[in-house]
Amino acid sequence: MTKGIVLEGIGASPGVAFGHVHLIDRRRATYPKFHVPEHQVALEVRRLLGAVAEARAALISLKERAPDHSAILDAHLLMMEDPMLLDASRRYVTDEKRCAEWALRSAVQDVRSRFDALGDAYFRERRSDVDFVGDRILSAMTNTDSGRIEAAPHDAVVVAHDLSPADTIALSKRKVRALVTEVGGATSHTAILARALDIPAVLCCAHVTERAGTGDLVIVDGSAGEVVLEPDEALIARYHGVADERARLFATLQREVGQPCVTPDGRRIGLLANVEIPDEIPSALAAGAEGVGLYRSEFLYVNRQDLPAEADHTEVCGAILDALGDRPATLRTFDIGSDKMARAVKLPREHNPALGLRACRLGLARPPMLRSQLRGMVRAISARKRGSILLPMIGSLEELLAVRAVLDDELELLAGEGVDVWRELAVGVMIELPAAVWIADELAQHCDFFSVGTNDLIQYSLGIDRGNEQVAHLYQPLHPGVLRALAHTVGAAQRHGIPVSLCGESASDPALAPVLLGLGFDSLSMPGLAIPRVRYVLSRLRFDEAQQLVTECLKQGRARDVEALVNEVVQRAIPEAIALLRDAAHG
């Protein structure tokens, strides 16, 4: 092979690692594929159900050995009970007379295809979970482990087409150096666990299993999203230099972990974490998170035939609040579209789900869904006298008042049932629709805080889909139209005396931090690992200087002119942050 090949992917967990490739590719595994006679159908069904039971027992055993990651493993256990998977497998055996292995793989492909058709990146990444569940059942059925997880040496860099959460947990016990996969994204379970376990990881690295061989020397840069195969001495020296530079920067950032984020002229900014499961909280707190600014509750709805019960919401929300101690937490009600919930709520498929029945609109159209989640959240919050509720995709005052009426009704019902309801519970509105921006003054009179979701706000404002490579380059957080919408929202919050936070992807970019500071946001919520870098920039830039910067930015007509102004201020005020921002641009 050619030495020194640099492959690019998504930097999912930071750090530089050196090691030797341990290759895992379950796609190369073979399984029986034949039709069975009628008299053998019952036996094949028993084999299928027996393999499911064995795979469940293995996952339960792993869950007991790794209790810190139980939430993700619980999701796989639920999938093993999913009628969509099990009933389809049975039908392939009974109706088409396929052997159990072939029937299972066919059913897995059916379920996977449904996830492939979804437009939301978060839900598309859940298709891998279906593959993992199928692989575990198939391994139990054939008494094989095509992944050879346990064979990975302690200094291995594991290279795979994909890894399951169970794989990642098992590999962490073996102290592997890094993870590289061909699929997955920043919200995949592999990425979440890699960050929680502090293992450098690069995902979505195309064709790496074809280019890498077991035993090959490899370098993984989880910040830049680079994988170097068979590096020469010059490349090894270069990446050792990168690792040393990052180590010095990390040491600087770590010295400030736990300190409040305060500008030199005394402006205090809260730095919070975005999470979807309780497992993410320890690593977020270790990075300096002061609480959770956004809990995405969609995880509870993934891969289920039925809707989560009130008790499910109470349990998970309670676990998040308990993991935070006395720190704050903002719990968002579900932001799910009808296409992703068709199995549970039997809604017709829509041509454009992003503009259809989703989030609070779906909750108001299906009140039992909304009421169950609100009751579960209220129970968890009231028991601890901490926490707030955030309402997504509010586009009109009527929607806000309708959801609040449902919440008020449930508060009274719970009180009547003997629950010591916490009456200081705060309710916020997520500003992510342009309509919400321009009626922010009216919304602010009927809620306790704003949280701006820039991911959707930018897409709706600019009319682009970030997942569409043809227009992804037009996704501009510093577009003058976006900045003016943010300025108007902050102004409305300030006029009505309510806090305003920002919880979109923009919050995690240190290069945008001076603008967000100058706009006047009270807090920023982001993935935990981004907090040290954002704190570094904010704590070295004067608030009054950031305000002057924003005043000039709002006069500009082009995003590139705004970027030039921001870069000029950063270079003048904190020139040592340039390397930090360059590194953030990669990771």
CB-neighbour burial class of residue 511 (10 A; exposed 0-12, middle 13-18, buried 19+)? buried
In this structure, what CATH number is given to the domain that contains residue 100?
A: 1.10.274.10
Q: Mean pLDDT score of the chain, rounded to an integer? A: 83
Please report the pLDDT score of residue 574 as a whole number: 79
Helix/strand/coil for 235: helix
Last residue of a domain, one of 142, 169, 184: 142
* 26-30, 112-116, 172-176: segment of lowest average pLDDT: 26-30
Please report the pLDDT score of residue 62 as a whole number: 67
CA dihedral 571, 573, 575, 579 (to 10 degrees): -80
DSSP code of 263? -
Q: How many domains in the chain?
A: 3
Last residue of a domain, one of 235, 251, 267: 251
Q: Kindly state the average pLDDT of the residues 173-200.
A: 76
pLDDT, tens digit, 9 for 90 and up, residues 299-314:
777 656 678 899 999 9
Q: Is the pLDDT of residue 164 over 80?
A: no
Of the candidates 205, 261, 503, 553, the residue annotated as catalytic is 503
pLDDT, tens digit, 9 for 90 and up, residues 453-510:
998 899 899 988 765 556 666 778 999 999 999 999 999 999 999 999 999 888 988 8
Spatial distance between the Cα atoms of 124 and 88, rounded to a whole number of angstroms? 21
- Say if residues 105 and 139 touch (Cβ distance below 8 Å): no
- Say if residues 146 and 26 touch (Cβ distance below 8 Å): yes
Q: What percent of the chain has pLDDT over 90?
A: 41
Please report the pLDDT score of residue 133 as a whole number: 79
* Residue numbers of the domain that contains 46: 30-142
Query: Regarding predicted confidence, which is higher, 544 or 109?
Result: 544
Of the candidates 161, 189, 313, 479, the residue annotated as catalytic is 189
Same domain, 13 and 42: no
Termini Cα distance of the chain: 28
pTM of this prediction?
0.69
The number of residues making up the chain comes to 587
Please report the pLDDT score of residue 342 as a whole number: 44
Q: Kindly state the average pLDDT of the residues 571-582.
A: 67
The gap from C-alpha 532 to its chain's centroid, in whole angstroms, comes to 19
Does some domain include residue 309?
yes
In this structure, what CATH number is given to the domain that contains residue 391?
A: 3.20.20.60
Please report the pLDDT score of residue 301 as a whole number: 75
**Whether 360 is catalytic:** no
Q: Is the pLDDT of residue 583 over 60?
A: no
Q: Is the pLDDT of residue 403 over 60?
A: yes
Q: Is the pLDDT of residue 110 over 70?
A: yes
Please report the pLDDT score of residue 468 as a whole number: 59
pLDDT, tens digit, 9 for 90 and up, residues 506-551:
898 888 999 999 999 999 999 887 898 899 999 999 999 999 999 9
pLDDT band for position 585 (cuts 50, 70, 90) = very low
Last residue of a domain, one of 121, 142, 163: 142
**Whether 479 is catalytic:** no
Spatial distance between the Cα atoms of 167 and 151, rounded to a whole number of angstroms? 12
Q: Is the pLDDT of residue 339 over 50?
A: no
Same domain, 92 and 230: no
pLDDT band for position 556 (cuts 50, 70, 90) = very high
Spatial distance between the Cα atoms of 136 and 59, rounded to a whole number of angstroms? 9
| Closest to 156 (Cα-Cα) out of 210, 212, 217 | 217
Output phi, psi for 179, to 5 deg.
-125, 140
| Closest to 457 (Cα-Cα) out of 477, 442, 480 | 477
Please report the pLDDT score of residue 299 as a whole number: 73
